[in-house]
Amino acid sequence: MSAGTSGAERWNRAWRFGDAVNTDDILPGKYAPLMVGEDVFHRYAFAHLRPEFAEQVRPGDLLVGGRNWGLGSSREYAPQALKLLGVGAIVARSFARIHFRNLLNLGIPAITAPELVDALEDGDEVRLELADERLLRRTRDGGEQALPLPPVPDFLREVLQEGSVLAFYRRHGRFPGEDRPSPADPAG
Amino acid sequence: MSAPARAPGAPAAGRWPSTLPEAPGVELAGLTLAERILSVKAGRRVRAGEVAVVPVDQVMMVDSIAPSALSIVEDELGGVIQHPERVSVVIDHVAPASNVQVATTQKRLRAVARDKGLRLFDVGRGICHQVLMEEGLARPGWVVVGSDSHSTTYGAVTAFGTGMGATDIALAMVAGRTWLKVPETVRVRLSGERRSGVAAKDVALEIVRRLTADGATYASIEILGAGGFGPGERMTLANLAVEAGAKVGLVAPDDALRERYEVAPWLVVDEDADVSREVEIDLGEVGPVVSVPFQVDNVHPVGEHLGVHVDQVFVGTCTNGRLEDLHDVVRVLAGRPVADGTRLLVIPASSRVLQDALADGTVAALVAAGASVGVPGCGPCMGRHMGVLAPGEVCVSTSNRNFMGRMGSPDAEIYLASPAVAAASAAAGVLAMPEEAVGA
């Protein structure tokens, strides 16, 4: 289903979720790396909400969420689990703040696009073409539908070009958007 | 040994001094509390929507995140922490260790903290947010980033406290600064008087209900009119700001705050500042509420859920594990034992809370009623140890999240409530209204 076609182009699966998917849904706290080990925790992604997910997800797959994706904990190992499973991107109506930063830091594209959410169904075959700012969706007759991605803010573009905020900082010695020497430190 | 009823955030004597400049150095007229703090820190006037890079006054990390944050520091950022004296490590999420793997991780963490010169609060000292407040490691106008989403709690003393993940925490330690999108502000104005039996928790949940779980996403919640709320109650208000999606929950500075902290004169509410939304809450209209599974903003009057059988009552956490919360429990129990078929688990938020509760007889009263009193820390809040729930069980908890599977089995249910409602439910064995709140 998600393994790609006979041609050179690879198709991925869209996994559709509802509103308010929280970080305990993405990775329950009791399966934190601290509890079960750095090497296996990702196998518990969506263990309660969608137990078949971790077994069936394939690298490059797209998660489609509703409002407030990723609310709750600051646990970076929740998106880290998705990264280890190879999740290609997440499209949602909106993202919770801390989780959004974590996705950005791990280099998982987090795309706020309600119109894409409306257009996608669970099990759709899709291909994300970030450089061309579009998402391809395979139609039932085997054709392709091109869905435009919303424009990426400059700040995010700067980060994604380097891969992550960490990579950006390592390369430039400053944060994205920090266009001046380090500010004086009032805390002294 | 220790004076009872010591307010969190109070030094042994006098006030916590300010480390901020008296004069802001930038024009602050028309700016919200969040904009004021970030402008002064950035050294330029910044408004909502801009990205500011600011020095960080305190970095806090807990045992479940610190190992990965420190690995990132070591493996990817060169290993040098700019201001180790501004970094606190708190072992609270799984404390004491629950298995050999956790114990091994914590052993390594202690060694790294010692090696790097970080401040370590070990097993039993308490929950990160409570401990930092008690130690004066969050002060008015400070920027405090914590590896825990409830770092909004520091907003109780008008500190810009916000939660971040391991990578951001690692970067903050190495760079000594962090990037923040300056938040829009949602102003919550409290007015009127609370009725008898109505707790800060009820008001905090009412704020979440009004705003909804994503109503303040990325925003600063600026809370005005909290004059009638004590230091711990303000922590409860700020703590739950994140449950409306907020980046920070800033309780407005007032004379009560200035009694405990030196507050820079520019750190004041500007009524003319641009806010994206203003919500008024008449405290006289707020009654005891519960947050019904599985969403925090699913808030309803306790009266609508009376009689639900309760297997476990959990009093504790960064939301409601302070001395006054334990006092509420003892007062509402009023000498009654915990009901047959119900367990009452009480976990003080810190060793100081525990000492004070021992000194004034609170712990003895709880144990006499049949409660289990645990080691200060997070307890079963996130389902890792010390009181996880079995399938089909119902817990009334004074914590802050009732997500599916949060405290153990995904087939268990969590009702969030105030300590008073929790105590009434422990005595009745079913979800119950405290007598003092009947009619509230």
Q: How confident is the model at residue B168 (pLDDT cuts 50, 70, 90)?
A: very high
Minimal-distance CA residue of chain A relative to B401: A72
Q: How far is A183 from chain B (nearest CA, A)?
A: 6
Examine residue B28 and state whether it is found in any structural domain, yes or no. no
pLDDT 10s digits, B382-410 = 999 999 999 999 999 999 999 999 999 99
B213–A169: do the CB atoms touch at under 8 Å? Answer: no
CATH number, position B420? 3.30.499.10
Domain count, chain B: 2
Residues B266 and B392 reside in one and the same domain? no
Same structural domain, B372 and B262: no
Do the chains contact at A72 and B401, CB–CB below 8 Å?
A: yes
Residue type, B328: D
Whole-angstrom Cα distance, residue B427 to residue B339? 5
Residues B130 and B253 in one domain: yes
Q: What's the pLDDT score for residue A102? A: 95
CA distances from B439 to B160, B209, B229, B418 (A): 38, 21, 21, 16
Structural domain of B413? 289-437
Cβ within 8 Å, pair A97-B176: no
Give the pLDDT of residue B15: 94
pLDDT at position A152, please? 81
Distance CA B150, CA A109 (A): 25
Is the domain of B430 the same as that of B344?
Answer: yes
Q: What is the CA angle B260-B262-B264, rounded to 5?
A: 140
pLDDT at B14: 83
Out of 3.40.50.10860, 2.40.30.10, 3.20.19.10, 3.40.50.2000, select the CATH number for domain A59-172: 3.20.19.10
pLDDT at site B436: 87
pLDDT tens digits, chain A, 188 residues: what are they? Answer: 444 444 457 899 999 999 999 999 999 999 999 899 999 999 999 999 999 999 999 999 999 999 999 999 999 999 999 999 999 999 999 999 999 999 999 989 999 999 999 999 999 999 999 889 999 999 989 899 999 999 888 778 888 888 888 899 999 999 887 765 444 444 43
Same domain, B181 and B330: no
Identify the H or E element spanning A91.
strand A89-92
How do residues B97-131 score in pLDDT, each as one tens digit?
999 999 999 999 999 999 999 999 999 999 999 99
Q: Is residue B61 within 8 Å of residue B151, measured between CB atoms?
A: no
Task: Report in angstroms the alpha-carbon separations of B404 from A22, B80, B241.
Answer: 9, 40, 20
Chain centre distance of CA B374: 19
Task: State the pLDDT at residue B2.
Answer: 39
Evaluate whether residue B7 is within a structural domain: no
Hey, are the CB atoms on B163 and A74 less than 8 Å from each other? yes
Tell me, yes or no, whether B202 and B307 share the same domain: no
Mutate: best of B59, B62, B65, partner A, most A CBs <10 A? B65
- Are residues A183 and B105, on separate chains, in Cβ contact within 8 Å? no
Average pLDDT over chain B, rounded to an integer: 96
Instruction: Determine the distance in angstroms separating the CA of B373 from the nearest CA of chain A, rounded to an integer.
Output: 22
Is residue A164 within 8 Å of residue A107, measured between CB atoms? Answer: yes
B258 and B306 housed in the same domain: no
> Chain A contact for B71, CB < 8 A?
no
Average pLDDT over residues B239-260: 97
CB-based burial label for B340 (10 Å; 0-12, 13-18, 19+): exposed
Is there a domain that residue B21 lies in?
Answer: no
Subunit contact A101:B177, Cβ cutoff 8 A: no
Closest by Cβ to A186, choosing from B40, B68, B86: B40
Per CB-CB distance under 8 Å, the chain B contacts of A183 are 41-44, 53-55, 177
In a domain, B48, yes or no: yes
pLDDT score, position A177 = 74
